Amino acid sequence: MIDSQDITGLVLAGGRGARMGGVDKGLQSFRGLPLALNALLRLQPQVGATMVNANRNLAAYEAFGTPVWPDGLADYAGPLAGFLVGLEHCDTPWLLTVPCDSPLFPADLAERLARAAEREDADIAMACAPESDAAGVTTVRPQPVFCLLRSSLLESLVRFTQAGGRKIDAWTAQHRCALEPFDRAGDDPRAFHNANTLAELHAIEGA
């Protein structure tokens, strides 16, 4: 069994926040706390160590009391840039990534992804969650920024990004990936809702 102490948790807060008007999304308030701090506090009981990926206002993030690492790739290269810097600084066999803008992610995320990785002898375990389309049809879809990765994947990701790769799905498809659905009775249907705009953030906050 993968022990929680063998997992380092990484909060991804390095984006441009373009759909929030360019604000630093991780520092926006959610129930009285910065979004990224909310994510960090939700993650810490699930893992052995934590860190944050951020590209602006580094002193504000460092005040959370955990290591903060900016992207090594230029021009806000997306979540894979966060994956890369996380793997570069990961001292445990596994890295768990979560975005800062899904404040209700499951309290048993690490446990269930670890179980899926072990069950399928996978290098990556990815959360899946129900999503409804415009017609109201619900499908369980992968949530690729909620990923448990073997830290030994660093070399593979370095090669992929150096070749210009930026899409998570294109990289994870190169490896054995276990998908773990979060659609059981009792699972919060809002757990993976993310706030791309301030209106979406306020809607999640008030739900």
Q: Binding site, residues? A: 12-14, 25, 53, 71, 101
Specify binding-site residues for Mg(2+): 101
| Tokens read off for 32 | 């009285």
Q: Which distant-in-sequence residues (6+ apart) come within 8 Å of 79 by Cβ?
A: 12, 97, 99, 144, 145, 168
Strands 138-150 and 94-99, bridge-based pairing: antiparallel
CA gap 204, 170 in Å, rounded: 30
CA gap 199, 205 in Å, rounded: 10
Helix 79-88 with 154-162: angle, nearest 10 deg: 140
| 3-class secondary structure, 191 | coil
Rg for the chain, CA atoms, rounded: 16
Strands 29-30 and 7-13, bridge-based pairing: unpaired
Specify binding-site residues for GTP: 12-14, 25, 53, 71, 101
